Every structure is written in C-alpha cells, then in structure tokens.
C-alpha cells in the first residue's frame, strides 16, 4: 500500500542492521512516524503499547522480536524466555502465539550458533507469507463481493476497527477485497465506524484516504440505522481469533454490528488468514478477552486548535470504567469466513482445513 504515493509495508527489516522499522500507529492519523526496534524489549513494548496492532501484524512483529532476541543471545534458555515475554504482551490475537510457536519449533532444534540467521529468515518468510495470504483473501473476497452485488450500482461495504493494511504487513484482511475491487475498477465505498475507545476506525479512514478509496466515517452507534435503512451490501470485518466452531473474537463492537446486520438481512463476513483460526479453542467462550487500561476511556486523543496532538480528560481518574477490547460474535451470526484458502460458512471451517484432525 502507499503512503503519500510511496509503496510501504507496515514493518520491514533495516538493510545492513539487526533492526526492524515499524510505522508508529499510536501517532496516526495525526502524524506519520517510523520507529526503529533494536531488540527484544523494543518489540515487546511495540506490541504492548499498540505501536503495532492488528492480529497478523502482532504475529509478524513477535517473529521479528525473536529474531532480534536471538541476534543477542541464542541459547535455549534465552530463546524460550523471549518467547514467553512476547506471548504475554496481548492475549486475544492468536496470531501472536502462532508466530511464536513457529519460530520456536524452527529454531530450537538448531545449534545456537545457527539460530540468528535462521530466525531472521523465518521472520522474513512469515512477513512475506502474510502479504501473499492477504492478497489471496482479497481475490476470494472480491469473488464473494461480486456474487453478493445487487445490480451495477456502487458496492457499499461497512467495516469495523482496522483490518486493513495497517493491521497486517500489506493489503489487510477485511480491506483486501476492497483494494482488489478498486484495482479491478469496481465502484466501491466503505462505511468506517470510529471504533471507540481506541478509534482504530480512524486508522482505516487514514489508510483508505492514502489509497484514494471513497469512504465515510460514522460514529459506532450509527451503524444500526445505516444497516436498517438498506443500501449496505455487506459488513466485512477481520478477526483476532476464530474458534473451531466458527465463533469470532474481534474488536469490541463487532458483535453489535453482526446483530444489526442479521436483523437487516445484510451479510456479515469475516476475513482472516489461517493463522487466526484456533482449532484448540472449541468455541468463543474459550477465547481470552483482553481487558485494557481504563484511561483509554477516561481520556480522549486528538489535536488541539493549533493542530498539536494531545489528550482531553472526559472522566475523572477515579471514574469506574470497564474496557474489554474484544467481543465474541457467535458463529450463528457469521454468514461467511474468507481465508487464503477460500470462502466457507462457519460450520465448514474444518472442511476448509482438512489437515486439521477431527475435533
């Protein structure tokens, strides 16, 4: 995808240095900043403080975090400690543990002296595979969109949170079909919900603006009205973890959209790579839900009249708040799941992944 017309990924290795550059997503949409990760601690902090976010990108950052860690200390104990540290950063997106398990099983059998080079290669491979998976999700999603299209009028899509380029390495999951449609010359427009309290919808608006995709930002609470009015062809969201039965964990507010979509007979679609599916979780009740700091609700972030970024307090520091970051949309409300393998109904998830043992 592009920033000011320049093609860019969200994370990339620094040429000639054991370091990785990322886009600081906490500064967006007000400022575009690149941050350099030099070691394991930087990667841990980047994930924990949401400099990087979105399930696939969290996984890729963790893989680079391991590469940065073993570049310094490659013995078994240090490797396993790095895996544990990264695994504890955020609980819901399963891509994190998926990437860490892959790095561990690739590196542990190797002699310590061979691990630094192998870790770097594996992290690069995971990042490249993510790009290819998102491209395929886009192609499958576009086929789905064309089949769902009613007549020749502009396609109207609603999304929630940011499951675009910024949440992956490139192209995104939920937004990949949108970008594929634009590339195919199809007229498309995206309704973007703000996604309180972290406002990831503003990241979606920023990246769509950068790619020149028509979109409109709405308050989260406007989604029900728009869906019930008609005129929305599909709701497409990403996922942080999909349980074996097709229940979907995604950004808080997703379930409300799925309920409204079902009431309005609008298809509700989840786009996610294989690394987001957790066949060890029987259903959504087994998915851990991240509870984030209350100040995410008590404080508002934005720019002042002079355009300088800052915070505004909307609740006193002692106000009791609850801040669950994700919710579970039951499989019964999900019409289709689109992965790099293709498109299926939630009950066909295992059939789409025949290599998974029956469970």
Question: Which residues are at the interface with ligand MRU (CB under 6 A)?
Answer: 53-56, 93, 161, 163, 167-168, 172-173, 200, 238-240, 250-251, 325
User: Which of 244, 225, 340 is closest to 287 using CA atoms?
Assistant: 244
Distance CA 344, CA 324 (A): 29
Whose Cβ is closer to ligand MRU: residue 71's or residue 234's?
234
Q: How near is the Cβ of 46 to ligand MRU at its closest, in Å? A: 12
Pairing of strands 326-329, 241-243: unpaired
The DSSP output letter for 54 is: S
Q: Which of 130, 170, 240, 327 is catalytic?
A: 240
Whose Cβ is closer to ligand MRU: residue 163's or residue 338's?
163
Q: Where are the alpha helices (DSSP H) in the chain?
A: 40-48, 55-72, 76-87, 95-107, 112-148, 176-183, 200-211, 223-229, 254-263, 295-298, 349-352
Q: How near is the Cβ of 231 to ligand MRU at its closest, in Å? A: 23
Distance CA 161, CA 175 (A): 11
Distance CA 357, CA 359 (A): 6
Distance CA 133, CA 44 (A): 25
Going through 232-291 in order, the beta strands assigned E by DSSP cover: 234-237, 241-243, 248-251, 268-271, 277-278
Q: How near is the Cβ of 121 to ligand MRU at its closest, in Å? A: 24
Q: How near is the Cβ of 17 to ligand MRU at its closest, in Å? A: 27
Whose Cβ is closer to ligand MRU: residue 207's or residue 233's?
207
Whose Cβ is closer to ligand MRU: residue 168's or residue 210's?
168
Nearest residue to ligand MRU, by Cβ distance, number only: 238
Whose Cβ is closer to ligand MRU: residue 116's or residue 177's?
177
Q: Let me know the angle formed at the C-alpha of 136 by 356 and 2, rounded to the nearest 5 degrees.
A: 135
* 240 carries an active-site annotation: yes
Distance CA 148, CA 267 (A): 9
Q: Is 199 left (phi over 0), alpha (psi -120 to 50) or beta?
A: left
Active site residues: 240
């Amino acid at each position: 995808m592009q920033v000011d017309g320049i093609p860019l990924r969200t994370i990339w290795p620094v040429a000639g240095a054991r370091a990785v550059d990322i886009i600081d997503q906490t500064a967006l949409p007000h400022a575009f900043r690149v941050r350099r990760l030099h070691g394991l601690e930087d990667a841990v902090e980047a994930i924990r403080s949401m400099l990087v976010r979105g399930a696939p990108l969290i996984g890729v950052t963790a893989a680079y975090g391991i590469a940065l860690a073993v570049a310094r200390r490659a013995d078994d104990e240090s490797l396993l400690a790095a895996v544990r540290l990264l695994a504890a950063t955020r609980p819901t997106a399963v891509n994190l543990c998926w990437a860490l398990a892959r790095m561990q099983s690739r590196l542990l059998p190797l002699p310590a002296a061979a691990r630094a080079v192998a870790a770097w290669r594996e992290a690069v491979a995971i990042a490249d595979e993510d790009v290819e998976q998102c491209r395929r999700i886009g192609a499958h999603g576009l086929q789905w969109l064309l089949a769902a299209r009613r007549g020749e009028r502009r396609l109207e899509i609603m999304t929630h949170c940011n499951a675009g380029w910024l949440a992956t390495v490139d192209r995104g999951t939920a937004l990949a079909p949108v970008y594929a449609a634009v590339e195919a010359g199809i007229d498309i427009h995206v309704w973007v919900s703000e996604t309180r309290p972290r406002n990831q919808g503003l990241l979606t608006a920023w990246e769509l603006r950068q790619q020149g995709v028509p979109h409109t930002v709405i308050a989260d609470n406007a989604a029900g009205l728009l869906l019930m009015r008609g005129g929305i062809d599909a709701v497409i969201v990403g996922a942080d973890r999909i349980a074996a039965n097709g229940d979907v964990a995604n950004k808080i507010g997703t379930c409300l959209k799925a309920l409204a979509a079902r009431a309005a007979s609008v298809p509700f679609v989840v786009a996610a790579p294989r690394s987001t599916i957790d066949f060890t979780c029987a259903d959504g009740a087994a998915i851990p839900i991240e509870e984030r700091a209350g100040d995410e609700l008590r404080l508002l972030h934005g720019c002042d009249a002079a355009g300088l970024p800052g915070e505004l307090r909307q609740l006193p520091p002692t106000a009791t708040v609850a801040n669950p970051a994700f919710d579970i949309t039951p499989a019964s409300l999900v019409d289709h799941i689109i992965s790099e393998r293709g498109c299926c109904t939630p009950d066909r998830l295992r059939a789409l992944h025949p290599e998974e043992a029956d469970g």
